[in-house]
Structure 1
Amino acid sequence: MTDSSSETCELAPDIAKFYQGKSLQGQPPSLWTLVLSQVTTWIFARSLMNAAVLGFFYGIAGTLAYGMYYFSFITGAHIVDSLRFKHGFNNIQTFMQVKFGATGEHLYNAVIGFRLVSEVFSNLLVFGFITTLFVGFNENYLILIIAVATLIYSSIGGLHTALKTDVAQALLTIVAIAVLSVAMFAHPLFSFDDIISSSNTADNKGWILLMVAFIQIWSYPAHDPVMTDRGFLADRATTKKSFYYAAPISMACILLFGLLGVFAQLNNAGGATEVTQTLNTLFSPAVMMLFSFALIISAISTLDSTYASAAKLIVIDMKLVKPTVRNGRLIMLGFLLAGLVFIATGSKDLFDAVAISGTVSLFLAPVVFFSIWSSWEVKPWAIIVSFVSALMAGIVYMLENGGYITVMAPVFGAEHKYVQLLILCVMASMIGSIAFVLARKRM
């Protein structure tokens, strides 16, 4: 058993502030700072847009499917609690190294590195899209402006700065969503009965996506350092409460924002193909500016936390460079540039980033069930099998959805992409779990 807490607590005050979110007096963040930080970093711009878009195309089922991902706070709480207080580890990397060797740690770091880059990419993309839609400026200029602005203020105090700004950003986002919800409920065309019956058709694939989300929530939080980093900052009781309180608050916000998409589809008289086009016809410019404001604030709040987690990953968890504030700032810049490279490729599908990331994260599902919660000792080859199966599932989904290959329909009779995704998730989970069962060390 290894505990890296002794290493981290010896950091100088400014380093502890930058990487652990502590005050200069060495105090950890308070309960409600952690709660609101968890809320705003998971109600990010991509999530709000995904919830609305899925509601637009699949009705209430689509919105509930995306809301299901927010049960990750509950599974995440138990993952972090077991790591810290059952196994005695202060980060997931050390656990992976001890249980599966250097290979397990490297595989884990590769996945969360990609996750962090995708967060930068997707939130900047939403910012560019929404501001171009409502303001009319050049998208690339706006992306660069917000990218540089968030980098500058994030680099001042690292995680400490992110936590402080998260509180205000969370409150602004919650108020904006509340006002938008009131405007929707007060609209003369709004009907709860229509909302509830919006997914009654037999071919609605939103329910399939709900099953996908249920499979992924067991491993999803383990590959999201923005969430798990906040699980190692405070005492046990405060940490648990922060996850438990953040879950219903975040889920309520996501479901309410998703209902805007459902409402738009139910009243899409003009046959628009985008949720924002329909909402523009239903609400006043003032309401739509508030819609835009919620997305912009949520994008900014996630970016600063992503930069902080990226710096911690490379400097503290992977120990690739000396733990200094300067090195942390350089890492932040590197992840920003990597996100801009992704944007330059022209990718626009926001949910695919979630689907692929969540599918690859399934290699951690047997780690969570068997190693973290059940304390099994397994031979290291199991993690390689689990990783390869989850990675191949993610690649197949990406290539199928991109039209590069056609495998799922001929082999499984699965035409729709969410049916394909469900099959791939089930297969990856089963292969990984079987590998762990076969690799278990008998005491």
Structure 2
Amino acid sequence: MISLYVIAAFAVVIVFSFLIAPRRASVEGFFEGQVAGCAPGLWTLVLSQVTTWIFARSLMNSAILGYYYGAAGTLAYAAYYLSFLTGGYIIGQLRACDATSVQDWLGARFGAVGQGTYNAVIALRLLSEVFANLLVVGLIFSAVLPEMAGAGTVAVVVVAVMGLAYSAWGGLSAALRTDVVQMLLFLAVFGVAFLYLVASPEFSFAAIVTSEGTSGSRQGWVLLAVALLQVFSYPAHDPVMMDRGFIADRRTTRNSFLHAFWLSALCILAFGVFGIHAANLGAAYEGQLLATWSGMFPTWVFVALLVSLLVSALSTLDSALASAARLCVEELRLAPRSLAGGRVVMVIFMALGGALTLWGNSTLFDAVAVSGTASMFLTPVMIAVFVFGWSVPVWSYLVSFSAAIIGAAAYFLRSADFMVSILPDAPKYEQLLVICVAVLVVGFAAVLIGSRRVAD
């Protein structure tokens, strides 16, 4: 019965998405998000930013980290949403330089090397977005249809095809318009579930705030430190956020980032409460918390949580595909700037992202940790230029980039024998903190030395 409710509710969301998507597509709308020649308004941008950043993987991460590490774990993940403030600052600096994208700015300073290294990182980021959200879809349907072999795989294929269908029709304009509806649906459905939770007799805000989860809060505080180290560069390597920073006037853009910060942070913290509450009740961890919740809440609350996750997954998929089309067509020039060119790119990215779901890695935070570490090469460079006005040489940029990529690889391969002998004998998040500090030390040293030599 639960499966029927989930399928029916999600089918309604998909139908609404098709109805809201623009009936007629244009090249400007596909790549620039314009509708009838006009840029999107403030709340279209706000809701689009929020729904693409509180995607299914993030909601699950927040709940899982809350379950294991209590309030500290959920707070650590919410700290990544400070990216809206740092991202707004970065966009403001780029537009003050008359840059039209991060690639434009990097190309002016570091040439093809700057653009090529950045594009490689964000291409992997976009693939991970498609993969991770399809993975959550598969996990949900595997949980609600345990008796059906391959239910998760079938769901992944169906959602991939449906999401691709309306995304490829309208591109960025379709993503923006459907994001608004999907976000409003998310807030309504999730809001009802959250109100039920806080009104239940066993719920206590004091217990939530002081909870240390099932594994103690130490690793949660470590993750908070990691998030604060990564949060300056993190938004710069997210093309979905950066693309939305150049499609409206500066005042609208600045305000959209501010509103997106508090709204998305509240959603992440609220979803994390469900994980913390499960730990406080002593519930056993099962299947990314999905099976845990099914035994904790009434059917309608459980369905509301699952539909919230599915809506957020769908909204992220269309935005990731729109950004992938823009990257390959406008920045890499791998396809003609036409509707057909953009659609071909979307098909390729969806196919590759779907194929990655067969890889079998269900540790959702790892993708965040690896991509966040890889993005840290931008922190020393942007701080040097934006804050101090220094001129950074190409070799300094490359040293910072190399340090970040090596750091990301080290965390990803931390279980390999050769990495075990190098990394400290500590929990993985403490290893990640050490790696992040090392990446920043090397990057800042290279930028400081290089900038001084240029000044001399």
Do the structures match in fold with TM over 0.5?
yes
Q: 1:177 to 1:368 in 2, by over 3 A?
A: farther
SS at match of 1:22: coil
Q: 1:46 aligns with which of 52, 57, 77?
A: 57
Q: 2:450 aligns with which of 418, 439, 442?
A: 439
Question: Is residue 425 of structure 2 the alignment partner of residue 425 of structure 1?
Answer: no
How far residue 98 of structure 1 moved from its aligned partner, in angstroms, is 1.3
SS at match of 2:104: helix
Query: Which residue pairs with 1:345 in the alignment?
Result: 359
Question: Is residue 125 of structure 2 the alignment partner of residue 115 of structure 1?
Answer: yes
Q: Which moved more, 1:309-318 or 1:174-183?
A: 174-183
For 1:90, give the aligned amino acid. T
* TM-score, with length taken from structure 2: 0.90
Structure 2, gaps ≥5 residues long: 1-24
Query: Which residue pairs with 2:71 in the alignment?
Result: 60
Query: Which residue pairs with 2:199 in the alignment?
Result: 186
d(CA) in 2 for partners of 1:383, 1:102: 12
How far residue 172 of structure 1 moved from its aligned partner, in angstroms, is 1.0
Question: Is residue 244 of structure 2 the alignment partner of residue 230 of structure 1?
Answer: yes
Query: Which residue pairs with 1:30 in the alignment?
Result: 41
Question: Is residue 399 of structure 2 the alignment partner of residue 389 of structure 1?
Answer: no
Q: Which moved more, 1:178-187 or 1:142-151?
A: 178-187
Q: Provide Cα deviations, 1:170-219, integer angstroms capped at 9, x if missing partner.
A: 11111222112111111221112211221298762100000000111100
d(CA) in 2 for partners of 1:158, 1:227: 15
| RMSD, aligned α-carbons | 1.7
Structure 1, gaps ≥5 residues long: 1-12
How far residue 168 of structure 1 moved from its aligned partner, in angstroms, is 0.5
How far residue 320 of structure 1 moved from its aligned partner, in angstroms, is 2.5
Question: Is residue 31 of structure 2 the alignment partner of residue 19 of structure 1?
Answer: yes
d(CA) in 1 for partners of 2:53, 2:255: 16
How far residue 429 of structure 1 moved from its aligned partner, in angstroms, is 1.0
Q: 2:307 aligns with which of 282, 285, 293?
A: 293
Question: Is residue 426 of structure 2 the alignment partner of residue 415 of structure 1?
Answer: yes
SS at match of 1:231: coil
Q: Which moved more, 1:410-419 or 1:291-300?
A: 410-419
For 1:21, give the aligned amino acid. G
How far residue 439 of structure 1 moved from its aligned partner, in angstroms, is 1.1
d(CA) in 1 for partners of 2:135, 2:162: 15
d(CA) in 2 for partners of 1:342, 1:202: 33
Query: Which residue pairs with 2:113 in the alignment?
Result: 103
Q: 1:241-256 residue pairs with structure 2 within 5 A? A: 241-256=255-270
d(CA) in 2 for partners of 1:273, 1:142: 17
How far residue 273 of structure 1 moved from its aligned partner, in angstroms, is 7.3
Q: 1:296 to 1:379 in 2, by over 3 A?
A: same
Calculate percent identity across the aligned residue pairs: 43
For 2:130, give the aligned amino acid. V
Indicate conservation of the 8 Å contact 2:71/2:276, yes or no. yes
SS at match of 1:205: helix
d(CA) in 2 for partners of 1:142, 1:412: 39
d(CA) in 2 for partners of 1:202, 1:63: 13
Q: 1:66 to 1:203 in 2, by over 3 A?
A: closer
For 2:280, give the aligned amino acid. L
Question: Is residue 294 of structure 2 the alignment partner of residue 276 of structure 1?
Answer: no
SS at match of 2:26: helix
Paired positions, count = 426
Query: Which residue pairs with 1:7 in the alignment?
Result: none
d(CA) in 1 for partners of 2:117, 2:314: 29
Query: Which residue pairs with 1:124 in the alignment?
Result: 134
Indicate conservation of the 8 Å contact 1:366/1:433, yes or no. yes
d(CA) in 2 for partners of 1:269, 1:115: 34
d(CA) in 2 for partners of 1:236, 1:178: 32
Q: 1:270 to 1:97 in 2, by over 3 A?
A: closer
Q: 1:90 to 1:271 in 2, by over 3 A?
A: closer
Q: Provide Cα deviations, 1:284-310, integer angstroms capped at 9, x if missing partner.
A: 111100010000000000000000000
Q: Provide Cα deviations, 1:72-94, integer angstroms capped at 9, x if missing partner.
A: 00000010011012x11001111
